[in-house]
Structure 1
Amino acid sequence: MDFLSPKHGCDPAAAVDCGDLGIHIDRQGRWFYHGSPIARREMVCLFASMLCRDADGSYLLVAPGEVGRIEVEDVPFLAVEMFVGGAGREQILSFRTNVDALVTLDADHPLRLAGGGEAEAPAPYLRLEGGLEARLTRSVYYDLVARGWEEERDGEKVYGVWSSGVFFPLGRLTPSE
């Protein structure tokens, strides 16, 4: 693959399939090539700019004319920092990922919670462009929870946050029947 190509769209159908590229992203957002860490941040950011999601849910690196699959343990990115503008229902929450992308929590980039059963803590994910996601780190999630408040939704008390004029539930406060 030509990794020095400028940023482009995800169109794997118009590319030569190079198969498995030997790149793996672990749960902590670390990138590896054939088991060795990719230490150069600039390379990780370049690869990240070429990453997209195929219709089957697999992850692809797409360069002009070439495409290859990579393995992702959970999601490819982490939200490592949160920025707050405004307050209350007028607040706007933005996140910086581990590859320095800035994403605002809004209707196009919603938050989803996975897990959160009795034995596990909820895992919060922020939707990015192209079907990609960033998992909020624990410290960022705690910062997010600290910005939340109670709302009444469909007769239930719900705890969540406002951002960009949208309420994002983080959990119910009313015990279920």
Structure 2
Amino acid sequence: MPYTPPPELASLSLSDIAEMVEAQTLPPVDQWAPTETGDSEMRIAADGTWFHQGSPITRPAMVRAFSTLLRHEKDNSYALVTPYQKLHIQVEDAPFVAVEMESEGEGPSRKLAFRLNTDHLVIADDWHKLSFPKADPKSNGDGRPYLHVRGGLEAVLARPVYYELAEQALADDLDPFGLWSHGAFFPIDKPE
């Protein structure tokens, strides 16, 4: 059966999105301890593009499938894992990109849902935290915001998604400055 991506987030209620999030099942990669290891000859670029042997992987279904086997290792590296094999993969920034967002409610009752570049859905909450690192001019860091996806894997927020969040935070004008989602508060350094 061909893969059908979920509908646009804007056409769904947050309860519909929550049901879809619950229905997502992933392999138990954290429970697998394969003895065979190697190099996948793959890399995930900072913009979320997946490459194999230097060529982009152009089939979205292939990227989705590989993304479900991705694991963040204790040594801060990444690997594609099956019960029998662990293949290292290079990740330039974060393995995922949050490309779309839907917001429902406001203040402490707000819920924020994100669609990743792999079409997986994540609702920001105590387990899926938003973080807004400060920009570090000394290290050329741009302070890009992130969303925890699972098991140490993060999604960088695409610029338009970050701008949407910033607009909501500015409209809320909370003290301390930040955003709520699903009962969790995520502080943001207020722009000067």
TM-score normalised by the chain length of structure 1: 0.85
Root mean square deviation, CA, Å = 2.0
Q: Which residue of 2 aligns with 1:145?
A: 166
Provide the secondary structure at the position in 1 that maps to 2:163. helix
Relative to its length, the structure with more strand (as a share) is: 1
Are 2:32 and 2:83, in contact at CA under 8 Å, matched by a contact in 1? Answer: no
Q: Is the CA contact 1:12–1:67 (under 8 Å) kept in the aligned structure 2?
A: no
Match of 2:178 among 152, 155, 160: 160
Shift of 1:19: 1.2
Amino acid at match of 1:128: V
Equivalent pairs counted in the alignment come to: 164
Offset, 1:139: 0.5
- Unaligned residue ranges in structure 2 (runs of 5+): 1-24
The equivalent residue for 2:9 is none
Matches within 5 A, 1:6-45: 7-11=26-30, 14-45=33-64
Moved over 3 A (4+): 117-121
CA 1:115–1:84: 2 relative to 1, 3 Å: same
Equivalent position of 1:155 in the other structure: none
- Deviation, 1:115, is 3.8
Q: Flag the 1:160–1:66 CA change in 2: closer, same or farther, 3 A.
A: same
In the superposition, relative to structure 1, how do residues 120 and 53 fare at CA in structure 2: closer, same or farther (>3 Å)?
closer
Change (3 A) 1:11 1:126: closer
**Selected match of 1:72 from 91, 109, 123:** 91
The answer to whether the Cα contact below 8 Å between 1:105 and 1:163 also exists between their aligned partners in 2 is yes
Distance apart, 1:7 and its partner CA: 4.5
- State the AA in 2 paired with 1:162: W
Structure whose CA Rg is larger: 1
